[in-house]
């Protein structure tokens, strides 16, 4: 028996991973039979709205319609055409008798019978697909704390000037500023060291000359 080479092993591993990935993606998907039974006809038309309101549809789920291909069809239409049973401009049309429709986006989806008379007798249904919240953040945005209010600054004299004197009141006396005393004058500067040396030098020369004359 011939053993598989490395290339064959790589292909087998790749196929296995691909199959596992597809199984994981479809694990949460669910197939809904329209009306609960899957029958798309006038007989079950009265139960469609009540069934749709009790069901929870998510992205990836599928709808199954079972009907006679030669006598009916399924039309996916807009909201306006759903209300008026207009069949002339559908978004999509299915007439194979065993229709499987995958729900690929959130929001309302409108389906009516391709026979106008059937649609007017409530052979129609509105499917609301829930929004995908798996990628939304679970934490609410943090709110920045409000800055603490600082106390207002104390009013200055410029902001609140003193009021003018009342009419007839004597003007306030102005006290003259006192004259500067002698203590406020700085003492005369003392002679510098260089001047003192020069003076002593001349005194010494004069004394020497005087002694020379006397003797």
Q: Which range among 4-8, 82-86, 139-143 shows the weakest confidence by mean pLDDT?
A: 139-143
Phi, psi of 162 (to 5 degrees): -65, 140
Confidence of residue 176 (pLDDT cuts 50, 70, 90): low
Name the 3-class secondary structure at 82: helix
CA distances from 74 to 41, 61, 66, 123, 171 (A): 10, 17, 10, 10, 104
Percent of the chain with pLDDT over 70: 48
Name the 3-class secondary structure at 66: strand
Q: How far apart are CA 138 and CA 141, in angstroms?
A: 10
Q: How far apart are CA 66 and CA 181, in angstroms?
A: 121
Give the per-residue pLDDT at 51.
96
Q: How far apart are CA 205 and CA 209, in angstroms?
A: 6
Give the per-residue pLDDT at 29.
82
**pTM for this prediction:** 0.53
Full DSSP string of 157-175: TTTSPPPPPPTTPPPPP-P
**CA gyration radius for the chain?**
54
Task: Write out the two tokens for 190.
Answer: 């003392």
CATH superfamily entry for domain 31-129: Cupredoxins -  blue copper proteins (2.60.40.420)
Convert the pLDDT of each residue in 25-64 to its tens digit: 445 689 999 999 999 999 999 999 999 999 999 999 999 9
Q: How far apart are CA 101 and CA 65, in angstroms?
A: 8
Q: How far apart are CA 132 and CA 149, in angstroms?
A: 43
Domain boundaries, the chain: 31-129
Task: Write out the two tokens for 122.
Answer: 């409530």
User: Which sign, positive or negative, has the C-alpha torsion 184, 188, 192, 197?
Assistant: negative
């Amino acid at each position: 028996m011939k053993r598989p080479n490395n290339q064959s092993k790589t292909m087998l591993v790749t196929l296995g991973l691909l199959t596992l990935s597809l199984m994981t993606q479809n694990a949460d998907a669910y197939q809904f039979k329209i009306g609960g039974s899957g029958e798309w006809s006038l007989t079950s038309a009265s139960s469609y709205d009540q069934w749709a309101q009790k069901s929870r549809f998510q992205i990836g789920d599928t709808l199954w319609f079972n009907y006679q291909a030669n006598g009916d069809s399924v039309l996916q239409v807009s909201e306006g055409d759903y209300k008026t049973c207009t069949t002339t401009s559908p978004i999509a049309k299915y007439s194979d008798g065993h229709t499987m429709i995958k729900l690929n986006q959130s929001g309302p989806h409108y389906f009516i019978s391709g026979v106008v008379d059937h649609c007017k007798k409530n052979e129609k249904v509105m499917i609301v697909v829930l929004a995908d919240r798996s990628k939304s953040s679970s934490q609410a945005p943090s709110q920045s704390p409000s800055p603490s209010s600082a106390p207002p600054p104390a009013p200055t004299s410029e902001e609140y000037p003193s009021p003018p004197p009342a009419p007839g009141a004597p003007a306030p006396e102005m006290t003259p500023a006192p004259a500067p005393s002698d203590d406020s004058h700085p003492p005369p500067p003392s002679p510098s060291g260089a001047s003192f040396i020069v003076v002593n030098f001349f005194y010494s020369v004069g004394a020497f000359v005087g002694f020379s004359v006397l003797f």
